Amino acid sequence: MGNLEYERLHENLKTLGMLKTSENLDSYLEIASKKSLSTIQILDHLLNGEVEDKLQRSLNFRSRIAKFPYRKTLEEFDFSFQPSIDKKTANGLATMKFVHNAENVVLLGPPGVGKTHLAISLGMTAVKSGITVYFTTAADLIEDLKQHSARGMLKERLRKVARYNLLIVDEIGYLPFDPEGANLFFQLVSRRYEKSSLILTSNKPFGDWGQIFGDEVVASAILDRLLHHCTVINIKGESYRIKDRKRVGLLQREQAGDQQKEE
């Protein structure tokens, strides 16, 4: 191969964004010539490397933009500790059919029972299967929407959020919504209805959502849309955090301390 063609080949690979092929080319051509590989074998190897690299880069990109607070997987979840969760239902959700059907998931339960863990692990599974995900808390989401609204950018922001195939909103119910926040959340749910999926987590049963949103009518309009196509996982049981503290004997010591204080 002449010098001119060689240079043009590298230039063209760069123009086409085939950086991995450009990087692998020289060493692989040397191996190919030593092993007398066919042109098809050479092309197959180089293009395979390029595709693998592209898939890995887009996976890394989706993981970055998802903004998970930490990483948790379904495999790490101890279903025997939380028998109120049907493992089959959780595994069914992990197939991502609910995202393809634009359905929702709501995880309900008291503190420490694994709502955020399950939401993140479903989000990570989604990212791995090529789905775009965004994780946020209710408080951060409303703050973000309010800021955009104040700058007259609400429509653009809602449009951008709508582009994520899966939106995870954690911790609904820990802080009440003010009327503007409740209205913004309604708009968001309404926009995604039957178009794209939501995973919501809450420490409060649906009966209390009127209080959370400060308005029974808004809460029921939100719930109506949300629950139309939805899997609800109602987790009942002990906090896993307490289990961990029990294991290291902290809880007994804490309780003993409390008793001493009372005496």
Ligand X SMILES: Nc1ncnc2c1ncn2[C@@H]1O[C@H](COP(=O)(O)OP(=O)(O)OP(=O)(O)O)[C@@H](O)[C@H]1O
Binding site for ligand X (CB under 6 A): 72, 76-78, 81-82, 109, 111-117, 203, 240-241
Query: In this complex, which beta carbon is closest to ligand X, that of residue 107 or of residue 184?
Result: 107
Query: In this complex, which beta carbon is closest to ligand X, that of residue 66 or of residue 158?
Result: 66
Reading the block at residue 104, the tokens are: 């929702």
Start-end of H helices in 115-174: 115-128, 138-150, 154-162
User: Helix axis angle, 19-34 relative to 39-66, nearest 10°?
Assistant: 150
Query: In this complex, which beta carbon is closest to ligand X, that of residue 114 or of residue 123?
Result: 114
- Beta partners for 166? 133, 197
Is 148 within 8 Å of 157 (Cβ atoms)? yes
Query: In this complex, which beta carbon is closest to Mg ion, that of residue 20 or of residue 117?
Result: 117
Residue nearest Mg ion (C-beta atom): 116
Among 21, 104, 116, 202, binds Mg ion (CB under 5 A): 116
- Beta partners for 106? 200, 232
Q: What is the largest CA-CA distance in the chain?
A: 92
Other CB atoms within a 10 A radius of the CB of residue 164 amount to 21
Could you tell which of Mg ion, ligand X, none binds residue 193, using a CB distance below 5 to 8 A set by kind? none
Q: How far is the CB of 233 from ligand X (least distance, A)?
A: 11
Could you tell which of Mg ion, ligand X, none binds residue 77, using a CB distance below 5 to 8 A set by kind? ligand X
202 binds Mg ion (CB under 5 A): no
Q: How far is the CB of 47 from ligand X (least distance, A)?
A: 40
Query: In this complex, which beta carbon is closest to Mg ion, that of residue 116 or of residue 165?
Result: 116
Q: How far apart are CA 63 and CA 232, in angstroms?
A: 25
Residues found near Mg ion in the complex (CB under 5 A): 116
